[in-house]
Each structure stands twice: as structure tokens, then as C-alpha cells.
């Protein structure tokens, strides 16, 4: 058995690729392709690194479910004791369906509607992470109309560069998220004077796919400076929320391990005298990203004067990250044959867009009808999937040891058409 580097639950056995104790080619044969397969052991191992790092502290780990919102994935984290970070009313209903405790749910996002606020208040969520001063006023109005008091934490934009892709950077002045560091104290004073709100914490989230410790330490210092100023103004804060954003290894990336990162952050927190506070964190990608693979069949090999194309049955509607961010995903065959000579291909899908590519300039030794695995597909793939070109969403399978469970059936054309109507 030879594990894949960076993917401990993936391994070669007799030149076949396995996920935990399941041969991936058998999953493709049983359920078809494209197919997402997730390792439960990988998700729990990633979570355990955070749990080790925060052992002995007052802390709540809230899975940022936008990374992967499939019900069974949510259920795995709920049963492991996680809370949840949500950004919509739909996500709230998903975590409730998965058995989450609403008191361990925090509601982030810049555009919460009144209906979403009412529903969250009705079920008793733990906290609203408020992202603008006008949102404070609307939430106060909604809470008072419902006869409730909304627990709030203000998301502060610390103007810290996370050194990540601009589309997933969230902590700079030019980003839409949070309240500017310079306005934060004013916003807290305003919130403390609103009868429908109860100020309970402070929140910060600076981006996604962060691979360096320095931005976290910079953001922590700026947030703690604010905590000191806010409490000096007579507004106590019960918790400090440092968000998520820790990256994974897509292509030789070297993010710190979660427990090592938190050892450094907690040392800084202790040095500044805030080590006894209740901490909230919101990891997403780092819990699920490398737990998932997308299996796809090679349809055609198309040679060209400038490029060779490997056309597969997965597409940008299944794996949107390359089209959106020019993101890298490793691509490997499910069966390896050392006797074959690899060729260089762009791996592309059937969607009618030039941006429909999964990987460019990849060395592969494959033939039509064979299967590939797109690696690191557990985060921001299925949760961002679409029906573009009227393609059905893929099926999903959860692997636990030698057992594989279908957790989402393949979407049919009837599923897509069910809510549509012809005009008279």
C-alpha cells in the first residue's frame, strides 16, 4: 500500500486507487460518474487537529458549512460535537435537518434578510455575526417585533492581507465583509444602545486558503486591541471569534497544521491576557477539502496542433473552482500502468465554455473509458455545483472504512424540471 502524499486516506494497492478500504473504481461502477466520494476518517482527523490545538480551552469549533453543505457531511460534524457557521436561511434549515443544536449556530453574511433573521431568532441560534451598521438597526427592529433579544457579535474588518486569491480575501479595506476597524468602537457603542440586541462577542475572518501564520497573528493583535478599547468603554465581550480560512495542500502548499497554528495563536492570546476567553473558530475547507475526490470517466482523447485534450464527463458545473479561480486540483488515474508513456493534456469537460477545464498541462497515460480522480474536491465543489447546460448534479458517497453509503442520489432531468412550468 502506497499512500498519496498529502492524502493519507488515499492509497495505491496493486496499482488501483483506494479511499480508506474501498476501491474507487468499484464506486464508479456502482454509482456512475461524475461521482464525489468523501472519507469520513479524513474529516474526523482534520477536526481532531483543531480539537487537540484547543484542548483545555473554552472553545467552540463551528464548521463553516459553505465549504460542503451535504446533509451527511453536516451530520458527521454534528455528531462529532461541532457547531456551525451559516450564511443563509437555507443553510440554517440544512443544519437543523442534520441534527445540529441551534444554540451552537452562528449566522454570518453581509446580506441577511428580515425573513432569515426572524427564522434564526425563532429557533434560537447562538449568535448573529453582524457585518454592517445598518444590519444592526434592521436586526434590532426584527428582534423587537418578535419579542426577542438577538445575541450579536460584530465582524471587524482588520485590513490584514491574507496573501490569498483576491476572490477569497475578506479582511482588506476593499472587501465587502465586516465593519472597518476604525468604525468598530462606534458600532459597538451603537449596538449596546439598541434594546433588541445583546452584545456577546467580536468576530474576525480574513480570507480563505491561507497558508501562512503571520496574517492570523496580525489579525489577532488588531482584534485584541479592539477588545481592550470596547471593554474600556463598558461593553463586555463574552467570546472572541477568530474565523477560519486555514488552507490545504492542493499543489505542494504548506499551511501550518491546525494544532500548530493554534499553539502560536494561544501563546499570543495568553501573552496579552485573554487566554481565559471563550473562543469561537470557523474552519471549513481545512476540514473537508482533502477528504473528497471527484471520479470522472475519460470520454475522448482529442489531439491538436497546440494542445491535446482529455475530455471527461465531469465539468465546470461539478468542479467550478478552476473556472472561477484558476484553481489547481491534482488529477490521477484510478489504475496506474508503468508501461504506458504519459502525454500532456488539458483535462476539459463537455460544457460549452472555453473556461470549462479541470486541469491544464497534465501528464497522463489514459485511454477512453478509463477513470480519473480529481483530488482535493471535498470543499467548494459540490456546494457550488450548478445545472449549467441542464446537467444534473453528481451523486455523492461517504466512505467509512470498508463501507460506502450513497448520501446523495444523482440528479435526474425530472428533478431539474419539477419546479418549472410551461406558459398556457
Say if residue 144 is in the same domain as residue 251.
Answer: yes
Helix (H) or strand (E) holding 403: strand 403-408
Classify residue 225: in a domain, yes or no.
yes
Say if residue 127 is in the same domain as residue 158.
Answer: yes
Percent of the chain with pLDDT over 90: 83
What distance in Å separates the CA atoms of residue 328 and residue 203, rounded to the nearest whole number? 30
Q: Most confidently modeled of 117-131, 198-212, 247-261?
A: 117-131
Answer whether 377's CB lies under 8 Å from 36's CB. yes
What distance in Å separates the CA atoms of residue 245 and residue 285, rounded to the nearest whole number? 7
Say if residue 301 is in the same domain as residue 271.
Answer: no
CB atoms within 10 A of CB 53: 21
Torsion angle in degrees (nearest 10) through CA of 54, 60, 80, 9: -50
Say if residue 174 is in the same domain as residue 227.
Answer: yes
Classify residue 64: in a domain, yes or no.
no
Active site residue 82: no
424 vs 416, residue with greater confidence: 416
Residue 52 pLDDT more than 80?
Answer: yes
For residue range 311-333, list pLDDT tens digits in order: 999 999 999 999 998 999 999 99
What distance in Å separates the CA atoms of residue 358 and residue 321, rounded to the nearest whole number? 8
Catalytic residue from among 62, 82, 352, 381: 352
What residues form the annotated binding site?
Answer: 245, 282-285, 321, 325, 353, 380
Question: What confidence score (pLDDT) does residue 168 get?
Answer: 40
Domain limit, last residue, from 283, 306, 340: 283
Question: What confidence score (pLDDT) does residue 169 get?
Answer: 43
Question: What confidence score (pLDDT) does residue 177 get?
Answer: 65
Residue 175 pLDDT more than 80?
Answer: no
Which pTM does this prediction carry? 0.94
Say if residue 192 is in the same domain as residue 248.
Answer: yes
Classify residue 15: in a domain, yes or no.
yes
Domain limit, last residue, from 268, 283, 298: 283
Domain count, the chain: 2
Classify residue 355: in a domain, yes or no.
yes
Q: Average of pLDDT values for 36-61? A: 97
Say if residue 308 is in the same domain as residue 254.
Answer: no
What residues form the annotated binding site for pyridoxal 5'-phosphate?
Answer: 245, 282-285, 380
Strand locations in 313-354 (E): 331-333, 343-348
Question: What confidence score (pLDDT) does residue 8 get?
Answer: 85
Percent of the chain with pLDDT over 70: 96
For residue range 333-343, list pLDDT tens digits in order: 999 998 999 99
Mean pLDDT score of the chain, rounded to an integer? 93
What residues form the annotated binding site for substrate?
Answer: 285, 321, 325, 353, 380
pLDDT bucket at 171, cuts 50 / 70 / 90: very low
Residue 374 pLDDT more than 90?
Answer: yes
Domain limit, last residue, from 260, 283, 306: 283
Q: Reduced to 3 states, what is the DSSP secondary structure of residue 359?
A: strand
Residue 170 pLDDT more than 50?
Answer: no
Identify the weakest region by mean pLDDT among 84-88, 98-102, 217-221: 217-221
Say if residue 296 is in the same domain as residue 274.
Answer: no
Question: What confidence score (pLDDT) does residue 423 get?
Answer: 96
Question: What confidence score (pLDDT) does residue 180 get?
Answer: 86
Inter-CA distances, 201 with 36, 263, 293, 393, Å: 37, 22, 37, 39
Classify residue 99: in a domain, yes or no.
no
- Smallest CA-to-CA distance from 48 within 11, 10, 76 is with 76
Identify the weakest region by mean pLDDT among 209-213, 280-284, 291-295: 209-213
Q: Which domain holds residue 14?
A: 2-39+289-417
Say if residue 278 is in the same domain as residue 166.
Answer: yes
For residue range 250-289, list pLDDT tens digits in order: 988 888 999 999 999 999 999 999 999 999 999 999 999 9
Residue 304 pLDDT more than 80?
Answer: yes
Amino acid at each position: 500500500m502506497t499512500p498519496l502524499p498529502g492524502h493519507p486516506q488515499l492509497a495505491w494497492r496493486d496499482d488501483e486507487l483506494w479511499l480508506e478500504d474501498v476501491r474507487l473504481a468499484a464506486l464508479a461502477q456502482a454509482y456512475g460518474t461524475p461521482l464525489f466520494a468523501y472519507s469520513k476518517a479524513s474529516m474526523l482527523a482534520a477536526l481532531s487537529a483543531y480539537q487537540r490545538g484547543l484542548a483545555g480551552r473554552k472553545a467552540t469549533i463551528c464548521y463553516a458549512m459553505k465549504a460542503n453543505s451535504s446533509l451527511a457531511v453536516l451530520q458527521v460534524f454534528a455528531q462529532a460535537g461541532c457547531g456551525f457557521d451559516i450564511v443563509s436561511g437555507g443553510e440554517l434549515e440544512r443544519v437543523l435537518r442534520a441534527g445540529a443544536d441551534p444554540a451552537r449556530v452562528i449566522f454570518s453574511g453581509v446580506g441577511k434578510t428580515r425573513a432569515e433573521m426572524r427564522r434564526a431568532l425563532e429557533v434560537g441560534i447562538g449568535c448573529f455575526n453582524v457585518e454592517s451598521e445598518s444590519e444592526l438597526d434592521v436586526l434590532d427592529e426584527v428582534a423587537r417585533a418578535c419579542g426577542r433579544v438577538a445575541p450579536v457579535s460584530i465582524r471587524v474588518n482588520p485590513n490584514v492581507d491574507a496573501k490569498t486569491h483576491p476572490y477569497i480575501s475578506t479582511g482588506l479595506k476593499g472587501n465587502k465583509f465586516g465593519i472597518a476597524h476604525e468604525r468598530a468602537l462606534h458600532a459597538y457603542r451603537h449596538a449596546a444602545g439598541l434594546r433588541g440586541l445583546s452584545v456577546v462577542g467580536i468576530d474576525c475572518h480574513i480570507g480563505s486558503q491561507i497558508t501562512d501564520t503571520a496574517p492570523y497573528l496580525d489579525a489577532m493583535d488588531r482584534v485584541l486591541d479592539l477588545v481592550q478599547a470596547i471593554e474600556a468603554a463598558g461593553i463586555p465581550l463574552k467570546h472572541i471569534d477568530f474565523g477560519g480560512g486555514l488552507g490545504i495542500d492542493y499543489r505542494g502548499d504548506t499551511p501550518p497544521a491546525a494544532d500548530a497554528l493554534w499553539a502560536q495563536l494561544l501563546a499570543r492570546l495568553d501573552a496579552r491576557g485573554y487566554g481565559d476567553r471563550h473562543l469561537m473558530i470557523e474552519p471549513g475547507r481545512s476540514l473537508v477539502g482533502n477528504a473528497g475526490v471527484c471520479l470522472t470517466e475519460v470520454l475522448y482523447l482529442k489531439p491538436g496542433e497546440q494542445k491535446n485534450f482529455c475530455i471527461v464527463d465531469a465539468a465546470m458545473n461539478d468542479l467550478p473552482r478552476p473556472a472561477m479561480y484558476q484553481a489547481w486540483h491534482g488529477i490521477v488515474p484510478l489504475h496506474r500502468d508503468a508501461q504506458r508513456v504519459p502525454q500532456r493534456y488539458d483535462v476539459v469537460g463537455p460544457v460549452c465554455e472555453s473556461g470549462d477545464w479541470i486541469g491544464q498541462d497534465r501528464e497522463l497515460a489514459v485511454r477512453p473509458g478509463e477513470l480519473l480522480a480529481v483530488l482535493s474536491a471535498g470543499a467548494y465543489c459540490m456546494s457550488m455545483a450548478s445545472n449549467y447546460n441542464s446537467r444534473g448534479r453528481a451523486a455523492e458517497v461517504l466512505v467509512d472504512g470498508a463501507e460506502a453509503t450513497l448520501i446523495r442520489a444523482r440528479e435526474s432531468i425530472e428533478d431539474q424540471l419539477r419546479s418549472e412550468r410551461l406558459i398556457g
